[in-house]
Structure 1
Amino acid sequence: MKKYFCYIFLFFITLNSKANDIPKPYLQWTQLPAIPDQVGFAGSFAGVSNGALLVAGGSNFGIGGTPWNGAAKTWSDKVFVLEQPNGKWKEAGRLPHPLAYGVSVTWQDGVIVAGGSDASMHYNEVFMLRYKNGVIETENLPALPAPIANACGIVIGSTLYIAGGTSGPNAAQAATNFWVLDLAQPAARRAWKVETPWPGPGRMLAVAATQEGAFYILSGAAINKQPGDSTVHRTFLKDAYKYMPGKGWSRITDLPQSVAAAPSPAFTTGQTHLLVFGGDNGQYFDRNATLQQKHPGFSNEVWMYNSITDSWSTIGNVFTDHRADAEQNPLNSTWAPVTTTAVVWNGNLVLPGGEVRPGTRTNRVLMATPVQPPGGFRLLDWTIVGIYFLLVIGISVIVSRNMQRTTSGFFLGGGKIPWWAAGLSIFGSKLSALTFIAIPAKAYATDWVYLLNNVMIVVVAPIVVYFYLQYFRKLKLTSVYEYLNIRFNRQVKWLGSLTFVLFQVSRLGIVIYLPALVLSAVTGINIFICIVGTSLITTAYSVSGGIEAVVWTEVMQVGVLLGGALATLFFIAGSLHGGFGQLFTEAMGHDKFRLAIPDWTITEPVLWVVFVGGFLTQLVTYSSDQVVVQRYLTTSTEKEAKKSIYTNAILVIPASLIFFSVGTALWVYYRHHPAALNPHGRTDDVFPWYISNELPSGLAGLVIAGLFAATMSTISSSMNSIATVITTDFYQSARPASTDKQRFVFARWVTVLLGALGCLIAIYMVYLRNASIWDQYIKIIGLFGGCLAGMFVAGIFFPRITSKGIFIGFVVSAVCLYFIQAANIINFFLYPAAAVLICVLVAYLASMKTNRQ
């Protein structure tokens, strides 16, 4: 009987399996109005000025002309403008003279034209075209160090890079020029700098690109002309290089084939991908003269480069439509163009004109619109998610029925939570979506350097137990900031409570944003709908459940989340030919398991920086964060509270190892399956994308359901803690005669408002587009939590520090930390260290001075 159930289950899984072999539509191709020339142009300059698309200059052979029938190449100086995608082209001006095959880039409100050639010579002139009031205006810029054509270039920020090319019509070799111009300088101070070239052969017709501030030069062609030999020999290159300002050049993985003369620059999409469209792979180059009209055209493959896995893949094709008369009437067909500028216009990629086969131009304008494909959730996944949410809601309803309708019941669960449940709840509150998504993404993108930050809780836990816990328990606190009132005064308490509220509200936005990001990536639902929906459901759950419901929900989620992450790790390893052996070998070979950076700098996450910063980050969390402290105040005795803290500390180590391993496994997997990545995605999307598209149906639903349930309990926990602080430290102080019932009702209304505020912050984070959400979270802890932790350190360890002194120390510390962050003089891991040190030191000195007075 069991055998039949197994067969039925496997059959159901098969019906719901992921269709990963079906190509995903990452680009949608359309055509804009054709350039108003019967033949079209190659080597035109193109860009965007004041919202309009400009195409200027270029060359062709006239109507019916080709190199094979003796037609002469002609050069254009016309400037065409298209104001709207559905509008009409118009001629709006002229270049200073006929010109083609230079570099053109969009910068601010104009199009920069650099170098180029005509029938007799190459040029070093540089100027900017601006489209204003229906006409073209020209502004001269500093001339290039030497004449150049067939080069590539791009603007990164306000810096213009130009690389490669040829110095003249009869050049015997391609150039290794690498020139840089800082456009941010005043006009009188602008000057080209000659930088060290890439460590490879000179090249022309290369493709420029940029990703995360780096300059890339991809492929191209080398030329060689021997003395006395009129024939120019061309070598099609596949090598590629990356230049990072301040760090120099490094070689990246070679392209699978040459993409010489492909539209340049490459299209930067997402946070880690570059797209290269077509290009000449050299397959027919030596046969151009014999093939003539029978030339099949250039490559139409779209190549994708991932800067994290350093790998290439194809994700589709440039739109083509070769009609039956393509040989005799090429203008009636649509081809993949080369020797044209790739322009980003209104977020879309535009390829205006170009050469479509040797000697043949096109006037067609292709446009590619990035498409976000839907996720791979199936019926079985939705069913499991639905069942799981019903279970979570059921727990909340059952607990809420037994909850005391008092502030003690709402905030502390009546002090009846067992130690193991409180410990699991502490761990679960810190696990959340931040751990589940951001840590694997960080390990995928970098290495294990941040692991030390997590495991420092093992060092911090005994300090919290022996120096902090006894104060909090003996004083029978509800809000941990009541201690500041007892140790100092009410003003200091209000300052600490306000800091906590600001810190937690900032965190609340992150915790709402991340699961919405998951749901959007997995299901294809708009991320704003996900944010609003998650906020509404969680707010309702938070208002009704109280801390007791939060704790028991988190207890259930810890096992599900760790189990889901562990199952994912084994699934990824099982999908590799060499299993875990291959995973560890490849990761070790590329230093993905690096645990520390041995250096003494203060601006990078080196060993001592992560050690000190991690220690104080954990101290901030476990000594002054109401979310954590409130949990070990829910236990009945101090002994049980100690056990809860150590339970959490022990669980952190295996959990961190699991999640860092998942990130490294994702890197190995996508290194071998680069086409399976979403080119338009963010780095933080990588784990949700894998869950959606690679995990089998059922398991994906279980992992996502567990993640969301734990995340929602974390959100509700933050809301409950913020409501606790606002009610206890502010409302009760303002209305000391209020009844417990009134405070209970007030706390619930505060929770509703917090849900709305967290929703708005999460929406803002969608537009923020940070490379790493974890980095942002650690910065927030340092900025808000460090000064707060300094107050507790001063209160517990320095009895001579006064109320006035700690107030001064806190304000000075906050101001200093603001300028430290703005100046970017230390790594963000050290923000808590700087905050605590400045706060305590200034508070001590201020206290000594006031005491002497």
Structure 2
Amino acid sequence: MRLNIFTLIFVFQLIVSGVYGNNEYLKFSSLPELIPNSGQSIQPGLAGPYTGVDNGVLIVAGGANFPDKLPWEGGAKKYYDEIFILDRSGEEEYIWKRMEEKLPFASGYGGAVSTPHGLLCFGGNTSNECVSESWFIRFLPGKGNVEIKPGPKLPASLTNFAFAKVKNTLFVAGGLLSLNASAQNVFLSLDLSDSNPENWKWETLSGWNGEARAFAVTAAQSNGVADCFYLFSGRNIKSNGEVDILYDAHVYDPSLQKWEVISDGNNQKFPVMAGTAFSIGASTIVFASGADGELMKKQMRIEKRISQLQENKDTDELKTYQNQLLNHLQNHPGFGKKITGFNTLTNKTTEIAHLPGTGQVTTAAVLWNNEFIIPTGEIRPGVRTPNILKISIQKDTRHLNWLDVVVIALYFLVLSWMGYFFSKRQKNTNDYFKGGGRIPWWAAGLSIFGTALSAITFMAIPAKTFTTDWSYFMLNMTIFLVAPIIILLFIPFYRKLNVTTAYEYLENRFNLTIRLIASLSFIIYQVGRMGVVLFLPSIALNVVTGIDIFVCIALMGIVSLVYTMLGGIEAVIWTDVMQVIVLLGGAILSLVLIIFKIDGGFQSIVETAAENHKFNVFDLTLSLKQPTVWVMLLGGIFANITTYGTDQTMVQRYLTTKTQKEANQSVWTNAILTIPATLIFFFVGTALFAFYQSFPGELNPTFQNNDAIFPWYVASQLPAGISGLLIAGIFAAAMSSLSSSMNSAATTYSTDIHFRFGWSKTTNQLKLARIATLVVGISGTLFAFMMATMNIQSLWDEFQKVLGLVIGSLGGVFLLGLLSKKANSKGALTGMIISFGVQILVAGYQPVHLIVYSATGVISCFIAGWGASWLFRGKK
């Protein structure tokens, strides 16, 4: 018990030291100004340079400016072919260098993206024509210079286009085919995945459903399902010379090869022409600059009037308008300081920061050393800047009140006390693994419910319905189709055989090898599952308190491990009962508070969700690659058979009740609870979507993973004490699964391996069981550390992959043994091997949705095992 108290004090100190608030998402600073071009004493700045990063240095090449006089003073525009690199010799020491090597053309206003073969520069224009060529700029660190190599040629000469790289594909949209020509609806792609760039070929795709444009703004960002190409604003230069400023927005989904209109430019405007944009977090696009076109329109009206007066030779009025134009250009305020964030899930914009100076347009935002660099560019019509702006992303956290800390600390204290209380009842392994048969059916049912849903429910499902829709609803409902199978087929076998683990049956039915393979697969799966359920709440705690995510994982792993080691399955089940109450109570309370916060309440939430197609449940498309109703039914049935029929965490609950009838009742308790729980947690995500549509400024744009959306609401919107209670609910969501995984995996190792082979006969079996729990708990915690270093967009998806790929064949083996008298050990082993190979192919080629992975594992194992059993006829 002393260890528990020490742990709680440590947790309390870390929570208190970690809480702080930060409302500034972006931090601004400057790098050394761009040095002058050859033969010049000053650098006025460059518009339209090719910018990017290669081998750790920032590259700025080409571009244009007015070196002598401003354009209204009669200055001539000059294009350059010089290449500059910004290198960092120390932590804060940056040095500009002008390279001896030159671009193939003195040009600018093209595109540039980083590739493994160098910075790929493409298109643009010289002083008199557009460019179709492309080339690689490769920085050679050992030599300190660059080399230039040709790249794939564009299908046509193109300039002033927008571009972005989505994963390994470069997309180009709009632009001009020749100077002073009309804008185009050109849309091109270039696959960069081939290791040999000589094989790269540009492809012409269908354009968006909207006006042609140049000087548009683009960014790559996720729409909640897939990474997409976003296209905003721009201007359409018509054949008569008139300019139409555009304020619309479009998105292209490469996985579906489909364009959609985000805004027609009327109800929601994007005044960001010629600006810069970059993506942060899981679903935010930041517009760091851009022109709304209003001052440009004013300038064009004055210039048009001047042209008319020149034709009419009205010198008096002409002079007046010429003075107006000069005054307009000299006193232009610049391209604004406001930075706007656009959320790709809610499709809402909000102001998130202000620039220290005026916005820089006709340049690009470049990611360098996890910071965004906006080099040089244009700050007013005809006026450039040599400034290099650096933007650092600041993760936001929210204060935890002292009352929240007390609530969380008390919660940990209660869990630790329960482990200590039940430890006094653990006399042998029957108590430790089966609870001595003392568990009532309703407690076992609640424990099954908490183990099956827990962290995946509390955080990942609201995140899924927030980002997408209710397509996954039918997945949970399949438990009603599977419950009768579990009650009629599986439970009678386990109760009759009086087994401790489900895998003892496999040795009785087949042989020891099959039992060991199944046991080891289950243990591996549980370690992976522990990683997921540890990582989820650790994200939440990191977001709301700022405590390091690795510290969060370690603390949760330690506390769960302590009470699970002490109290065995009884502590696990009774803490599950308490945690299910906190789990559902916290979700209901959050839902009520969201409803009261939004104008119009429940009706407004429903209307907003319906307008945005959030209630899509039955997608009847005949496809196994999209989350259709067929995928949900097929995947859900086989996933639940595998989980409830062969997963030791579930089977162990069936064995803790006094009778088979009570075991059956525990299964129905879980199934019945699934209905209100699914409705509650699915609607929480939908309500959060409606809330952040109403209050877009409250949404944190720096999230790296949308699974943190619910805890962010809890920490940022709820009053003191209630926040602590619901954060405790997040811990409850994780620990109910975590403790079950620890105990069941330890049970499996002890019974199926250690005790089965009679190892360490002199060692007390209860002590050995606790040591096994310790080893499993530490392994799961270490796996969570590994997950924390990976870029995982959706933990729900990762959990489904683990479920399907690791234990998909187990369901097939059990069904083979239960349903076929002809099945034998050689056939079962063959089925498992073939199923494992099928699963590798499925994971590699992804012919079906990840939820169907369990079905492919079960079906392939059953069919292959049944067929092989006929070939290897022998003893049944």
Q: TM-score, normalised by structure 1?
A: 0.92
The match for 1:640 among 640, 653, 662 is 662
Deviation at 1:373, TM superposition (A): 1.2
- Return the offset for 1:736: 6.2
From 214, 221, 230, the counterpart of 2:228: 214
Query: Equivalent residue for 2:650?
Result: 628
2:186 — aligned with what?
A: 177
Match of 1:5 in 2: none
How does 1:156-555 map onto structure 2 within 5 Å?
Answer: 156-171=166-181, 173-185=182-194, 186-212=196-222, 213-226=227-240, 232-245=241-254, 246-253=256-263, 254=265, 256-263=269-276, 266-288=277-299, 289=325, 290-320=327-357, 335-401=358-424, 403-555=425-577
Partner residue in 1 for 2:136: 128
Deviation at residue 345 of structure 1 after TM alignment: 0.7
Partners of 2:482 and 2:123 lie apart in 1 by: 61
Give, in whole Å, the separation in 1 of the partners of 2:800 and 2:786: 18
**Relative to 1, partners in 2 of residues 1:157 and 1:588: Cα closer, same or farther, differing over 3 Å?**
closer
Task: Output the CA distance in 1 between the equivalents of 2:623 and 2:258.
Answer: 19
Q: Which of the numbers 35, 53, 59 marks the counterpart of 2:58? A: 53
Give the secondary-structure state (helix, strand or coil) at the position aligned to 1:412: helix
What does the per-residue CA deviation read over 1:631-681, in whole Å, with 9 as the maximum and x for residues that have no partner? Answer: 121111112111111111111111111000001111111122222222221
Q: Which residue of the partner structure matches residue 103 of structure 2?
A: 95
Question: Would you say the 8 A contact 1:28–1:368 is kept in 2?
Answer: yes
SS in 2 for 1:54: strand
5 Å-filtered alignment, 1:53-132, equals 53-63=58-68, 65-84=69-88, 86-92=93-99, 93-132=101-140
Q: Residue 700 of structure 2 aligns to a residue in which SS?
A: coil
Answer yes or no: is 1:768 the counterpart of 2:790: yes
C-alpha distance in structure 1 between counterparts of 2:190 and 2:813, whole Å: 49
**Deviations along 1:579-625, whole A, 9 cap, x unmatched?**
00011112122221111210222222222221121111111111101
Q: Distance in 2 between matches of 1:841 and 1:115?
A: 56
Question: Match of 2:49?
Answer: 44
Match of 2:579 in 1: 557
Is the 2:248–2:270 contact (alpha carbons within 8 Å) kept by the matching residues of 1?
Answer: no
Alpha-carbon deviation of 1:273? Answer: 1.5
SS for the counterpart of 2:375 is strand
Contact conserved, 2:418 with 2:567, CA < 8 A, in 1?
A: no
Conserved 8 A contact 1:553-1:710:
no
Q: Match of 2:496, as an amino acid?
A: K
Contact 2:79 2:107 in 1 (8 A): yes
> Runs of 5+ in structure 2 lacking a partner?
1-15, 37-41, 300-324
**Contact preservation (8 Å) 1:392, 1:709:** no
**Partner in structure 1 of residue 23 of structure 2:** 24
2:629 is matched with 607
Q: Deviations over 1:471-519 (max 9, x none)?
A: 1112111111111122222222112111111111111111111111111
Amino acid in the other structure paired with 1:221: R
Aligned partners of 1:569 and 1:665 also within 8 Å: yes
Task: Note the alpha carbon deviations across 1:726-775, whole angstroms, 9 max, x for none.
Answer: 00110012216726x62211121121122221112112212332222112
For the Cα contact (< 8 Å) 2:174–2:212, is it kept in 1?
A: yes
Q: How does 1:582-601 map to 2 (within 5 A)?
A: 582-601=604-623
Percent identity over the alignment? 38
Deviation, structure 1 residue 225: 4.9
- 1:259 alignment partner AA: V
1:393/1:188 Cα in 2 relative to 1: closer, same or farther (>3 Å)? closer
Distance 1:113 1:851, change over 3 A: closer
Choose which of 729, 732, 742 in structure 2 pairs with 1:706. 729
The residue aligned with 1:794 is 816
> Helix, strand or coil for the counterpart of 1:83?
strand
Q: Residues 814 and 317 (structure 1 numbering): CA distance in 2 closer, same or farther, change over 3 Å?
A: same
**Given that residues 416 and 562 in structure 2 are in contact (C-alpha distance below 8 angstroms), is that contact kept between their aligned partners in structure 1?**
no
1: CA distance, partners of 2:760 / 2:539:
44
Secondary structure at the residue paired with 1:47?
Answer: strand
**Amino acid in the other structure paired with 1:137:** E
Deviations 1:428-467 (A, max 9, x none): 1123211101111111111112111112112211221122
Cα deviation for residue 182 of structure 1 reads: 2.7
Residue in structure 2 matched with residue 6 of structure 1 by the alignment: none
**Equivalent-residue separation in structure 2 for 1:734 and 1:293 (angstroms):** 89
Once the two structures are TM-superposed, the CA of residue 367 in structure 1 deviates from its matched residue by 0.5
Which amino acid in structure 1 is aligned with residue 596 of structure 2?
Answer: G
- Aligned equivalents of 1:88 and 1:157: distance in 2? 31
Which one-letter code corresponds to 1:550 in the other structure?
Answer: V
8 Å CA contact 1:351, 1:365 repeated in 2: yes
CA contact (8 A) 1:385 1:701 kept: yes
2:308: which partner in 1?
A: none
- Counterpart for residue 317 of structure 2: none
Secondary structure of the residue aligned to 2:243 is strand
Structure 2 Cα separation of the partners of residues 269 and 183 of structure 1: 23
Aligned residues: 810
For the residues of structure 1 that align with 2:426 and 2:604, how far apart are their CA atoms? 55
Tell me how far apart the structure 2 counterparts of residues 53 and 29 of structure 1 sit (CA, whole Å): 18
Distance 2:482 2:163 in 1: 52
Displacement of 1:822 in angstroms is: 1.3
Deviation at 1:144, TM superposition (A): 2.1
User: In structure 2, the residue corresponding to 1:734 is in which secondary structure?
Assistant: coil
**What's the Cα RMSD here?**
2.0
Q: What is the distance in 2 between the residues matched to 1:167 and 1:814?
A: 53
Cα distance, 1:849 vs structure 2: 2.2
| Matches of 1:616 and 1:257, distance apart in 2 | 47
SS in 1 for 2:537: helix
- Does structure 2 conserve the Cα–Cα contact (< 8 Å) formed by 1:428 and 1:558? yes
1:808–1:846 CA contact under 8 A, matched in 2: yes
Give the superposition deviation at 1:222. 1.7
2:593 to 559, 562, 571: 571
Please state how far the C-alpha of 1:852 moved relative to its aligned partner.
7.0
**8 Å contact from structure 1 (residues 82, 88) kept in 2:** yes
Deviates more, 1:201-210 or 1:839-848: 839-848
d(CA) in 2 for partners of 1:386, 1:404: 26
The residue that corresponds to 2:8 in the other structure is none
C-alpha separation between the residues in 1 aligned to 2:472 and 2:128?
59
For residues 800 and 606 of structure 1, the distance between their equivalents in structure 2, rounded to whole angstroms, comes to 36
Shift, 1:146, TM fit: 2.4
In 2, Cα distance between equivalents of 1:356 and 1:803: 76
Amino acid in structure 1 at the alignment position of 2:279 = T
